[in-house]
Amino acid sequence: MGWDAQDATGAARYPEGMPIAREAASVALDSVELRVLHLPLVSPFTTSFGTETVREVIVVRVRTADGDGWGEIVTQPAPLYSSEYTYGAWDACRRWLIPALLGPARVRPEDVGTILERFIGHRMAKAGLEMAVLDAALRTESRTLSEYLGAVTDRVPAGVSVGIQPSPAALVETVAHYLGQGYRRVKIKIRPGRDIADTAAVRDAFGDIPLQVDANAAYTLADAELLAALDPFDLILIEQPLQEDDLVDHAALARKLRTPVCLDESIVSAKAAADAIALGSAGVINIKAGRVGGYLEAVRVHDVCRSAGIPVWCGGMLETGIGRAANAALAALPGFTLVGDVSASDRFYEHDIVRAPIRLTDGWVSVPTGPGTGAEVDESAVDAVTVAREVVRR
Ligand code: NPQ
Ligand code: MG
């Protein structure tokens, strides 16, 4: 590497503007198509910020002189997990991001971030556009996303994220169901009032299984003593206990807990990861390409963490088969030493929009071997769940 992983203070640093070693073909974009899909969930998914019964998601199709590429914008209908939301991303894409992308005659995937850099935020929107360009570019070269990103394995262990259930007893039943399917690590969602007893119920029922909890920012530093009551359960980690912008409070909390603190919502870039590591706010980091603005920035987060000795795992956003394939490729990078929220499509969907939905084999997910993301989109399946569509042309 041409840069120092650590500065004089020992803090992880990632220099601005460092050229990326990986390089894919450029594509000549003709148009970008956006669709809002409504994909029914097999069961409601409840977190500390609410319940979803339908996955509203945006898929992106870029059309190029040499073929199409598909991406996915992982926003939710309302700005509850992050400030982004479906029709905010939609508007940012049609009004600003896509016209900027259609400016140059040709774009390489590595250029997308730079072209969109002057627009602040909107990382999930940018990530979905970059994914579609990456998919199109890699397909022209018959290259896989996993090879391009630097994957080192051909399968990744599958973990499951279990939403808040009506009762601790119902949670035990639900967890039993997923363990029966072969999942190798369980994450349960917690919120104030549904934390200690739920965690205790799962430990009591299943003993020593690999277990972690996700609070989705539902607590404050004043809850430190309560959260310390999770320590005896020997959890792998507690994910995002405090608000997105509470890096200093997360550092204070981490000093009071034996359970490692993992950040999700707070880590919006490689710079944010470096800052969190420098402050002692995170002993573990969850990487989601959407949250950080794309798979290329996700690799930069991975690189920062790996240099600093911080373990990472691949998060999930209830992706369709498109994002699910890409996540399996990302999770195969060497720094992903913890089991991620990499689950089978049927964890969330009865009918995915791809021809070969991600499935489990003995608790593992295969890294896709087809060109681009490796996902082959079933256009009639997409049509059947499309609720809005717009094509932006140059
Ligand atoms: C997390 N995901 O790690 C999230 C956040 C999340 C798999 O636990 C609809 C669409 C509902 C995306 C609920 C998992 C969602 C969503 C939660 C993402 O924090
Ligand atoms: Mg999370």
Residue of 312, 309, 251, 305 whose CA lies nearest to 282: 251
pLDDT tens-digit profile of 281-320? Answer: 999 999 999 999 999 999 999 999 999 999 999 999 999 9
pLDDT at 20: 53
Structural contact between residues 114 and 1, judged by C-beta atoms closer than 8 angstroms: no
Mean pLDDT, rounded, for 371-390: 98
Ligand 1 atom nearest to CA at 265:
19
Measured between its terminal Cα atoms, the distance across the chain in Å is: 38
- Name the percent of the chain lying above pLDDT 70: 95
Cα torsion angle, 224, 82, 372, 341, sign:
positive
Mean pLDDT, rounded, for 164-190: 98
Mean pLDDT, rounded, for 254-280: 98
pLDDT at 22: 84
Beta-bridge mates of residue 107: 27
Distance 49 CA to ligand 2 centre (A): 11
pLDDT tens-digit profile of 53-93? Answer: 999 999 999 999 999 999 999 999 999 999 999 999 999 99
Unique residue bearing structure tokens 């603005």 = 293
Taking all residues of the chain, what is their mean pLDDT, rounded to a whole number?
Answer: 95
Q: Are strands 67-73 and 238-239 parallel, antiparallel or unpaired?
A: unpaired
- Any ligand 1 atom below 6 A from CB of 318: yes
- Which of the four pLDDT bands, split at 50, 70 and 90, describes residue 18? low
* pLDDT exceeds 60 at position 102: yes
Ligand number nearest CA of 161 is 1
* pLDDT exceeds 60 at position 196: yes
CA pair distance 168, 236, nearest whole angstrom? 20
- Any ligand 1 atom below 6 A from CB of 250: no
Buried b (16+ CB within 10 A) or exposed e, 234-247: ebbbbbbbbbbebb
CA–centroid distance for 174 within its chain: 23
Unique residue bearing structure tokens 């369980």 = 186
- Name the percent of the chain lying above pLDDT 90: 94
Q: ∠ CA(110), CA(113), CA(115), 5° rounding?
A: 100
* pLDDT exceeds 70 at position 8: no
Q: Are strands 284-287 and 261-263 parallel, antiparallel or unpaired?
A: parallel
Beta-bridge mates of residue 54: 40
Distance 393 CA to ligand 1 centre (A): 32
Q: What is the DSSP letter of 105?
A: S
Unique residue bearing structure tokens 């913890």 = 338
CA pair distance 137, 119, nearest whole angstrom? 23
Distance 317 CA to ligand 2 centre (A): 9
* pLDDT exceeds 70 at position 274: yes
- Any ligand 1 atom below 6 A from CB of 165: no
* pLDDT exceeds 70 at position 231: yes
CA pair distance 257, 242, nearest whole angstrom? 13
pLDDT at 324: 98
* pLDDT exceeds 90 at position 165: yes
Ligand number nearest CA of 318 is 1
Residue of 301, 275, 296 whose CA lies nearest to 286: 301
Mean pLDDT, rounded, for 235-242: 98
Q: What is the DSSP letter of 191?
A: B
